[in-house]
Amino acid sequence: MTLPRPRRAAIYTRISRDIEGSGLGVERQLQDCEKFAEAKGYEVAGLYSDNDISASGAKRRPDYERMLSDIEAGKIQTVVAWHSDRLHRKTLELERYISLCQTHNVETHTVHAGHLDLSTASGRAVAKILGSIAQQESEQKAERIQRQKQQAAKAGKFLGGRIPWGWQRDGEAIALEPVAARFILAGSKAILEGHSLIEVTRQWADGGAVSLSGTRMNTTQVRRVLLRSRNAGLVTFHGEVVSDGWPPIVTIQQFRAVEAKLNDKSIPRQSAAKFKYLLSGLVLCHCGRYLTGYGAQATAEKPSYRRMYRCKIHQEGGRFVRGHVIREMGKLDKYVQWMIATYLNQEDIGPALLAEATALSASARTSPADTSQLLHRKQELARMFAAGVIEESQLVEGTAQIRAELAEIERSAVSAGGNSELIAVLMSDDPAGGFLRAQIGAQRSIIRAVADVRILAGAKPGAGFNPDLVDFDWKVGR
């Protein structure tokens, strides 16, 4: 007598979240299912396991899909699972499974929920009820988790996962991570001063900033970091601000200003180093567009050649647009440089700019007033030496001490986000000369830090230079 061939069975195991990452959850399910199959006399034709994958989410379950393909191919006659909710937690998937099992005469057995007889109406009803209960449990669990996260967010608590770049754990609390926080503050200040994302990205890379994964950040990543509302202590939940209890790196006003700048498509994205000319992308036409440089330098062979600045509108349409700015480059450059140098040399302007720069750091040990006094003391020592009141050794010793104190103030201001080029010039003996001797990138940075420059509309359009039409909106003084 020939014994009937045992039914070919598939064993399916799944766990939604493998916290330890060791697969022990599915291993325990497999052991129970194998004992069940052996007791029933089944031949195990295949093992299918989706570890750390939920059956209620949108994520694809590779082994579940492979099992369905094997059912369609006729390789499987019985499916064994630990419980019906290991197979399905969505009624939509269950309907597809029922249809497939009916078509291919496949039985379903579970270790803890018994036999699901999908060949009868009552059996299918039981399976659907169990599937609906499993789906309801998943949805209720998701609602509880969402509510818990919302409550934690409103309390300013961390919602779990990786601590964002710029902060660290301090026991049970979240505190600033000083190195990353300094980069974020300096980057925010740089953006507000008119520096580009490329410049900030380069500054971070030069300063040794790396992401949480230990790699250098590109401009997209830097932009994403600077646009996080957490920088201002704001916690969001599904896009809505629910708390201001997170440790802030910048003020809300600073963050909103950075947000506006980075989302303003009219602001040039190029690095200052990429600008060939001093005022390209820096000075505005009266219409609000930036000026750009073009043309060729005059030579002995071509004395009529001139370099010019023109409103960007002339490039947008590929043609000349009457009424918008066109100015000779050399004359405009020299006038703007002269105005900035004259501004920096004023006695009251230097201390005022330094006061703003050195007041950036709350931890600075020296006050802005002390900075101004140090500079005056330095000048006074030079005058006293010239008049023969003090010896050279006294001049050298006194000047060295003052320079050391000024250097410390400069480092503090720059690390807190101050404009390093401007601070270096203001700390020098000759701010105007320091500005005029600086490289084009540094000059652009200083101009951007101290004034907004615009060419006003004249009565007669043309390329003629009229200094009265060059308007300076000084950020400090005047």
Domain boundaries defined on the chain: 8-149, 167-272, 289-474
Q: Is 180 exposed, middle or buried (0-12, 13-18, 19+ CB in 10 A)?
A: buried
Token reading at 259: 């947000």
Name the more confident of 165 and 88.
165
Query: What's the pLDDT score for residue 284?
Result: 92
Token reading at 394: 């006294």
**Average pLDDT, stretch 298-306?**
64
How high does pLDDT run on average in the chain?
78
Answer whether residue 370 shows pLDDT above 80: no
Query: What's the pLDDT score for residue 91?
Result: 77
Share of the chain above pLDDT 70, in %: 71
Token reading at 209: 């900033």
Model confidence pLDDT, tens digit, residues 271-288: 444 567 899 889 999 898
Neighbouring C-beta atoms of residue 397, cutoff 10 Å: 13
The two domains 8-149 and 167-272 share their CATH topology (first three levels equal):
no
**Which sign, positive or negative, has the C-alpha torsion 373, 379, 380, 381?**
positive
Query: What's the pLDDT score for residue 10?
Result: 92
Query: What's the pLDDT score for residue 162?
Result: 76
Query: What's the pLDDT score for residue 363?
Result: 42
CB within 8 A of 312, min separation 6: which ones?
A: 285, 289, 290, 291, 292
pLDDT tier, 55 (very low <50, low <70, confident <90, very high otherwise) = low
Does the domain formed by 167-272 have CATH 3.40.50.300?
A: no
Question: Is the whole model's pTM more than 0.85, yes or no?
Answer: no
Model confidence pLDDT, tens digit, residues 121-153: 888 888 788 777 766 666 666 555 455 555 554
Model confidence pLDDT, tens digit, residues 372-411: 676 667 667 777 777 777 777 776 777 777 667 666 666 6
Name the more confident of 17 and 258.
258
Answer whether residue 361 shows pLDDT above 60: no
Q: How many helices (H) and strands (E) does the chain have?
A: 17, 14
Task: Give CA–CA dist 284/279, Å, rounded.
Answer: 9
Identity of the residue numbered 57: G
**Average pLDDT, stretch 447-452?**
90
Which of the four CATH numbers 3.40.50.1390, 1.10.3720.10, 3.40.50.300, 3.60.110.10 does domain 8-149 have?
A: 3.40.50.1390
Range in 159-163, 322-326, 468-472 with the lowest mean pLDDT: 159-163
DSSP code of residue 88 = -
Query: What's the pLDDT score for residue 343?
Result: 92
